[in-house]
Amino acid sequence: MSGKYMDHKGRPVVVVTGMGAVTSLGLGKKDNWAALTAGKSGIHHIKRFPTDRLNTTIAGTVDFMDTEEISAPAISYAMADATAEEALAEAGFGRSGFPGPLYFAAPPVELEWMHRFTLMGEGAQGEPGYQQLQAAARANKHERMHELIQLGTIAYRIAEKYGARGLPISLSTACASGATALQQGVEAIRRGETDAALCVASDGSVTAEGLIRFSLLSALTAQNDKPEKASKPFSKDRDGFVMSEGSAALVLESLEHATARGAKILGVVRGVGEKADSFHRTRSSPDGKPVITAIRLGLEDAGVELGDIGYINAHGTSTPENDRMEYNALHHVFGDAIHSIPISSNKSMIGHTLTAGGAVEAVISFMTMREGVIPPTINYDNPDPDIPLDVVPNKSRQAQVSTVLSNSFGFGGQNACLVLGIDVR
């Protein structure tokens, strides 16, 4: 392989040739980009289920997809399908025969209350409860219900529909999953075991129980009155994230493969840094070391200097702890230079798309570089004086950016940082 196709460590350069996105702002990159650069929020009062008695009654649900039922797996599948299709079409691959594996950041799916209630209504003998549901299941095969609630199903379906090669990979690193899906694709191409990888992330798990679980961990904001104002990363009065839905898909290829087939190159995944944290199940180490290490490993893997980073796409969840921790870690790595690097949180507009976040934000990061516009951090009306960052407040900004750092952190001590670029060199 010629040197022009290799990176600073002699590995294949990994480029992006197709992207797709769905968020509460709309279906497809075009609509999302228009809304994001206009500083529009996709957060709204929940209509999917009654919210009486719930602390949080707002979310960034995606209510416009055509789904086989209203459940986390069905919604997640529909969004994953839509973004995969958009990305593959842009990359110029048809509906069958994608020349590589699928890495899918999979949402948590399981039997939901609607399924339990459906089974209860099938008239099996016994007291209401799991034994009765089992009796109903024994009496009639429920093939579709079974299929939907298996954790591997969405990936199986996407892989088969688009002809991805081999056993599709379903993965979870909680709220870092979207970034991990890209990382896996990058690693596979660097190993030389494939020329291309389809990386998809999807999360449509805003159910009453899902919302209540996060609420019980005090992770969600309850500023329900003005939903579009509730997600306010880096603001002093931020008090939790907004649970949201979304999906993104990226077609990764080795530069050599993309060049050989004449594909349009949308960007480069320069590097990935990862470090696990052993401090706590939901909180980061107080010294920030794992996050600091993940950022540094990402920069080192990408072979870029601190000064090369022109924009940071923050994890920026709008929880009191995350935003402070993220600032402290960035300050530690970049020093005072961090105060003049633009950094914004897409979550101010689309909420926290959980499993999908890292991939959705990677797509937005590439668009930021391609379009020369940085989407803002909206709802920045009350800056946190302890986080003196240039958060691109409230209005998008014209700026030519060639290298982006995109952070993703998740429960369970997961930290993944992507370094993304626009130029092949």
Partner 1 sequence: MEKREVWITGVGLVSCFGEGAEHHWEVLGGNTAPAPVIDSTRFAPYSVHPLPEMDWSKQIPRRGDQRQMENWQRLGTYTAGLALDNAGLKDNENMVFTMDLVVAAGGGERDISVDNSIMQDAASRNDREMLLNERLPSDLRPTLFLAQLSNLMAGNISIVHKVTGSSRTYMGEESAGITSIENAMRRIQAGQSTHVLVGGAFNAERPDLLLSTELGHYSWHGAPEAIAARQASGGGMITGSAGAFVVLEEAEHARARGAKPYAKLSGVVSDLGKRDEASTRQRLNRMLDKLEPKSGTAVVSGATGCSPITGIEFDVLEARLGKDVAIRAFSTMIGNPVEANFPAGIALAAMAIANGSFYPQFESAEKPAKGKPDSILVSSIGHYRGEGFGLVEKI
Q: Please report, as residue ranges, which positions from 345 to 374 form the binding site for partner 1 (by CB under 8 A).
A: none
Residue 321 near partner 1 by CB under 8 A: no
Residue from 30, 34, 45, 50 that binds partner 1 (CB under 8 A)?
Answer: 50
DSSP string, 64-101: -S--SSSSHHHHHHHHHHHHHHHHHHHHT--SS--SS-
Choice between 81 and 384, CB closer to partner 1: 81
Minimum distance from CB of 138 to partner 1 (Å)? 6
Residue 49 near partner 1 by CB under 8 A: yes
Residues 109 and 205: beta-carbon distance below 8 Å: yes
Q: Which residue intervals of 267-319 are DSSP H helices?
A: 289-302
- As beta bridge partners, residue 409 has 415
d(CA 247, CA 364): 12
Residue from 37, 172, 221, 353 that binds partner 1 (CB under 8 A)?
Answer: 172
* Centroid of chain to Cα 262: 29
Minimum distance from CB of 376 to partner 1 (Å)? 31
Residue 352 designated active-site: yes
Choice between 134 and 400, CB closer to partner 1: 134
Residue from 21, 155, 199, 302 that binds partner 1 (CB under 8 A)?
Answer: 155
d(CA 76, CA 1): 39
Residues 149 and 110: beta-carbon distance below 8 Å: yes
Residue 236 near partner 1 by CB under 8 A: no
d(CA 227, CA 42): 9
Minimum distance from CB of 120 to partner 1 (Å)? 6
Residue 315 designated active-site: yes
Residue 99 near partner 1 by CB under 8 A: no
| Residues touching partner 1, count (CB under 8 A) | 81
Q: ∠197-165-184 over CA atoms, to 5°?
A: 35
The answer to whether the Cα torsion of 130, 136, 137, 142 is positive or negative is negative
d(CA 362, CA 202): 13
Residue 425 near partner 1 by CB under 8 A: no
Minimum distance from CB of 213 to partner 1 (Å)? 4
Which of the residues 274 through 303 are near partner 1 (CB under 8 A)? 274-282, 290
Which of the residues 201 through 230 are near partner 1 (CB under 8 A)? 208-209, 212-217
Catalytic residues: 175, 315, 352
